[in-house]
Amino acid sequence: MALKRHARLLRSADFDRTLRSGRRAASEYLAVFVSDNVVGRPRVGLAVSRKLGNAVVRNRIKRRLRELVRPLVTRATGGRDVVIVARARASDAEFARLRQEIEMLWAKSWGQ
């Protein structure tokens, strides 16, 4: 099951606002930016640079991150926008390691 449309960050203006003014938390695999929104529910956007590889590699990273984020979004309350930026090491990270990182960063950035 995919991340529902209402739970995704779709407009580039929302991405820019979150990246520019959001709270940050980072690890060697991921960076997470969180900012409040007026929608009243959490929304998530993923950013995977072309520097990480070709389309196959980037889409694989995005699929893995969406799978890890979905349960976090369904449990989350409050209106916040979250942008998850994949770093270079994310392309060869194990799934379990990404899960640890994303849960740690989510808790860290959401709790502030």
Is domain 5-110 given the CATH code 3.40.50.2300 in the classification? no
> For position 61, what pLDDT does the model report?
93
Token pair, residue 25, equals: 């938390």
| Beta partners for residue 34, in sequence order | 23, 82
Q: Are the beta carbons of 33 and 18 closer than 8 angstroms? A: yes
The rounded distance, in Å, linking the Cα atoms of 104 and 24 is 13
Instruction: Return the amino acid letter for 27.
Output: S
Q: What is the pLDDT of residues 23-38, one digit of tens each?
A: 899 999 999 999 998 8
Q: What is the pLDDT of residues 32-66, one digit of tens each?
A: 999 998 888 899 999 999 999 999 999 999 999 99
Place of tokens 């779709």: 10
Listed by start position, the domains of the chain span: 5-110
How many Cα atoms are found within 13 Å in the side-chain-facing hemisphere of 89?
A: 10
